[in-house]
Amino acid sequence: MPVTAPLDSRPPQAVPPAAPRLFPALTIVAVAAVVIGLPGRVHILPSWTAYAVVAMLLLPMVLRTALPADARIFHLERATTLAGVSIVCVLSVVTLANLIAGILLRSHALTAYNLLASSTALWLTNVLGFSLLYWALDGGGPDLRLAGNGRYPDFAFAQAGAGDAVPPGWLPAYMDYLFTSFTTQTAFGPTDALPLTSRAKAVMMLQSIISLITLVVVASRAIGILQT
């Protein structure tokens, strides 16, 4: 009598290959360097927290590259990447709120240098941090995109409909997400890549709002101090 498998049994899912992670890893280090370099008056958390976040993000990336077939590492790395980058984005919002509170309540304690350095650091942090978030979020992450079995994409890039103008099987690389983040930051909206999902639209709106407030409130206040 043949033995039948239970109804709830599922075949094990193959772990997708690991996509390149060099540039995202360098971006994480750059974000930490910018945060650590913020003036002391605008630091929300002690400097060691930046090192902790870097370790939380880089260690799973290294393990994912060294052990590409380990399903546990695959899920751990994706979870820590999304969590760590989300923490960076939240801290940007909190730092911006702290700067605005300082401008309104204790403007005498913040010099033009503090405000210019902080606004520049926030601007760079947002560009780099949101580029990582777009890279990790789109279509289930870089590994699923590379394997071709990801979910529906969160962003529509111009190259996807360019036909023979791009190589066959073109896929967005990290630089495409960095450019998307940069243009969103400078134009306060999508330019190169269009958001297709609600979560992509929400993240882009958040980035545009942070960028707009940083330039209009903080940077303009610093320029106003220099002109007086």
Q: What is the pLDDT of residues 44-92, one digit of tens each?
A: 667 777 788 888 889 999 999 988 888 899 999 989 988 888 888 888 8
pLDDT band at 1 (very low <50, low <70, confident <90, very high): very low
**Higher-scoring residue by pLDDT: 41, 121:** 121
What pTM, to 2 d.p., does this model score? 0.84
| SS3 call for 149 | coil
> Is 98 contained in some domain?
yes
Domain extent, residue 32, equals 22-142+151-227
What is the number of domains present in the chain? 1
> Is 76 contained in some domain?
yes
Torsion of CA 202, 207, 209, 210, to 10 degrees: 140
Mean pLDDT for the stretch of residues 195-224: 82
> Is 40 contained in some domain?
yes
> Is 7 contained in some domain?
no
Q: What is the CA radius of gyration of the chain?
A: 21
Beta strands 193-195 and 155-157 are: antiparallel
